[in-house]
Amino acid sequence: EHEHHHDHDDDDHCSCGHHHHHDDDDDDDEEEHEHEHHHHDGETCSCGHHHHHDHDADEVFQSFGAETTHTFSEEKLRDILSAFDEDHTYGMILRAKGIVPAEDGRWIHFDYVPGGIDIRYGAAGIIGRLCVIGSGLNRDALKTLFAL
């Protein structure tokens, strides 16, 4: 449900298809009205005005975070991150990042966005940490994928 406002000149009419009550006021050259719409899934407003539908990030996105001492090879980590693009078993992944211990004692820093993987070696951490952000996250599948 949302509301929006229109300004109309004397002979203009709203084209949104909803019935409106306009107060006639001789001192005002413009009419302003508000109306509400109820949209069902997949429907959009046809009145030609831009509407802001507010959703808190917590309603749309979820995050999965973990600490790990598990070691990774660069190849294994690339395979894990590539799996996010290949199927949605893990949810709709929008971002992942972390610092994890490598098998050779170094530390691997990684960043993932759909269609893009960046893996590099960097400063050491105390413990490996990773974070995955998306919607419909399958936490159990993510734990298995990262060997947590």
pLDDT (tens digit per residue) in 97-141: 999 999 999 999 999 999 999 999 999 889 999 999 999 999 999
Decide: residue 52, CB within 10 A, 0-12 exposed, 13-18 middle, 19+ buried.
exposed
| CB neighbourhood size of 10 (10 A) | 7
pLDDT confidence of residue 57: 52
**Higher-pLDDT residue of 47, 74:** 74
pLDDT confidence of residue 60: 82
pLDDT band for 18, please (50, 70, 90 cuts).
Answer: very low
Q: Are 97 and 66 in contact (CB under 8 A)?
A: no
Mean pLDDT, the chain, rounded, equals 76
Q: Are 119 and 100 in contact (CB under 8 A)?
A: no
Fold of 58-145: Hypothetical Protein Yjia; Chain: A;domain 2 (3.30.1220)
| Residue with tokens 């539908």, as numbered in its chain | 53
pLDDT (tens digit per residue) in 70-90: 999 999 999 999 999 988 899
pLDDT confidence of residue 139: 95
Domain ranges of the chain: 1-54, 58-145
Strand, coil or helix: 110: strand
